[in-house]
Structure 1
Amino acid sequence: MDPLSDVLALLKLRSYVSGGFDAGGDWAISFGPHDGIKFHAVVTGSCWISVEGDAFTRVNTGECFLLPRGRPFRIASDPSVEPVPVSEVLPPQPNGRIMTYNGGGDYLSIGGYFTLSEGQSELLLNVLPPLLHIRDEPGSATLRWCVERMRQELAEGQPGDFIVAQQLATIVLVQALRLYLSGRTTEEAGWLFALADKRLRAAIVAMHGAPDRRWTLHTLASVAGMSRTAFAVTFREAVGLSPMEYLAHWRMTLAAEELAHSRKSIAAIALEVGYESEKSFSTAFKRVKGRPPREFSRLQKQISGRMDQAVFK
């Protein structure tokens, strides 16, 4: 898999379509904090969005926005309209259907959210801004098609429509991230942004594909087709970490997943991520994750056990 697929798989991404919102006239709705990533895709009309007091952004037909940080936000037909809490506007209704407000007819959007694995969610959330506005551009044809298909699934009520809409929502997220990377003008640092550089992407793909290999700065620079110095400087500027620091963080992320969800020995996990010595692995793990592997494993399994008990109560 490619690095983005690796991370999304590790995060145990799940998509949910909460339904459509069909509004008419003047309207404004405020939303509280949320978990995961919320998304709205505008099918017809336009709206304004503001995240927790930031300036308003206009979102037009064929565009969408993602909210990765969980901050409160509001959407409106006009920034001057006083917002109403979402709990007052949209009372509890079955998911996966289009709901009407103020008679509808002027604005229609499809909304939903993505949940992520608790332990590793920062892998994605920490490299994204509070608001991702994906504009309607030539490269967004796939995004438009997915949104239109979601609208049809919600409106027609065919068997299995909710499952189809969920799968389409996942495609929307991946396509939105692709478009965000291709159209990015600011110089944020993070592994996600490094994927826009073919040379750095090649090195990251290599590290993800063989985390147990004895990588050196020289071999990674060769994969990237760059000199060692140029590779080291460019990688740090793009990712915010040196190549070897990034490799260590990725190895420990994989190890953390195994420690939390498998019965493998620490020695076996150490070998899988490139450490022949359990002691050297434990030292590296504590440096990156803040706890020794055994303590981390015990705590994660206790948390998992409490969650399982809560489900069956």
Structure 2
Amino acid sequence: MVQHSFVSVQADPLQDVLTLVGTTSQLSIGLVAGGEWALSFRPPEAVKFNAVRRGHCLLTVDGVPEPIKMDEGDCFLLTQPRAFTLASGPGVRPIPAEPFFAAARGKAHGVARVGAGDDTVFIGGRFDFGERAQELLLDVLPPVIHVPGRTAEAAIVRWVLDQIDAELRDRPLASTLVTEHLALVMLIHVLRLHLTVAGPGAATGWLGGLTDPVVAPALQALHARPAHPWTVAQLADVAAVSRSTLAARFKQAVGRGPLEYLTGWRIELAIERLRRGDETLAMIAREVGYGSESALSNAFRRVTGSSPREYRISRMRTGSAAAAHLSG
């Protein structure tokens, strides 16, 4: 009997995907509210986050059945472009938020203000991703993730928010850059918390697979060595289960079989290299696990509907059109 030695082969799929989709962050104008108030927000163009630094409020998101009570220290991540409302409590008629934020723009350290007083204070911002983020990351998350700030698990999120507060308050050198990096740290910890606290069923697709003790080692192995000619038997050895168990659990958790997932991830890696435009198709084929350019082309067309050459040409035309628009 041939023994396979793949147990120690592991990687970090969450890190791989966040790196691949090019995550960036930007803080927005803060919000101070008092008395009875309610603001309605249009669906954001990017992934939105807000944190309650003082006070409390009620968060209502389109399509989410129940309002979410937000206490001091809580934060939320809105992963889909849905309209939402922040309010002092139930029964308050909301008014559009945009005029209050527009009035604060252009002012040094300006904040939007609504109502009477400063009972509730928010900081917020947005996360922007590359073009593949919707399918690779956002579609496998629920529309809103709420992180209660007073739990022991949220200690690092509280620390990050405290550091952002200090940077915004004192404005030391390079504070904008520091706050943007801190926001990315917060995003990673929010996603970690969502997976560990919410547990199985907290996410779908590959992200949901990371919460399955059988599927997670196989996923990590695929990401560690995507160019390796994996078999289901080898992946089952990594997960320490039978082939039939791994195949069933993987498909149930991720939505497709392990080798089908591997093909999809290899194509994502190929797409990223095609975007960079500095490698030949033969080089890309070898790096992502295909023995020849034609093998890559066949898999690429099967997954995307076009060949790697067609994809590269369309990207070059899009880039040329954008450059012409900017120069014109």
Q: State the TM bucket, normalised to the shorter chain.
A: over 0.9
Secondary structure of 2:127's aligned partner: strand
Q: Are 1:2 and 2:36 counterparts?
A: no
Equivalent residue for 1:132? 145
Three-state SS of the structure 2 residue aligned to 1:118 is: coil
Q: 1:20 aligns with which of 11, 30, 38?
A: 30
Letter matched to residue 72 of structure 1: A
Q: Compared with structure 1, are the counterparts of its residues 170 and 69 closer, same or farther at alpha carbon in structure 2 (3 Å cutoff)?
A: same
- What is the identity, as a one-letter code, of the residue corresponding to 1:147? L
- AA at the equivalent of 1:93: R
In structure 1, the residue corresponding to 2:198 is in which secondary structure? coil
1:170 — aligned with what?
Answer: 184
Equivalent residue number for residue 218 of structure 1: 233
Q: Is it true that 1:115 corresponds to 2:128 in the alignment?
A: yes
Identity in percent: 38
> Which whole-Å deviations, capped at 9, do the CAs of 1:204-243 have from their partners, x for residues lacking one?
2221121111111011111122211111111111111110
Q: Which residue of 80, 85, 103 corresponds with 1:69? A: 80
Aligned equivalents of 1:12, 1:310: Cα separation in 2: 24
Shift of 1:201: 2.3
2:52 to 33, 37, 42: 42
CA contact (8 A) 2:29 2:101 kept: no
- The superposition leaves residues 96-141 of structure 1 with CA deviations (integer Å, 9 ceiling, x where unpaired) of 6544332442111110000000244321111011111112311110
RMSD: 1.9
Provide runs of 4+ in structure 1 moved above 6 Å: none
Mapping 1:75-154, distance limit 5 Å: 75-91=86-102, 92-94=104-106, 97-136=110-149, 137-154=151-168
Stretches of structure 1 lacking an aligned partner (at least 5 in a row): none
- Deviation per CA, 1:169-202: give whole Å up to 9, x if none: 0011000001111122562431112112344222
Matched residue, 1:59: 70
1:240 matched residue in structure 2: 255
1:56–1:79 CA contact under 8 A, matched in 2? no
Residue 265 (structure 2) pairs with residue 254 (structure 1): no
**Separation in structure 2 between the aligned mates of residue 75 and residue 312 of structure 1, nearest angstrom:** 41
- TM-score, length-normalised on structure 2? 0.89
Amino acid at match of 2:30: G
CA distances 1:54-100 after superposition (whole Å, capped 9, x unpaired): 33211111111101111221111123111111222221514865443
Deviations 1:125-160 (A, max 9, x none): 110111111123111100011111111211222222
Aligned length: 313
State how far apart, in whole Å, the 1-side matches of 2:182 and 2:274 are: 32
CA distance in 2, matches of 1:305, 1:86: 38
Length-normalised TM-score, structure 1? 0.93
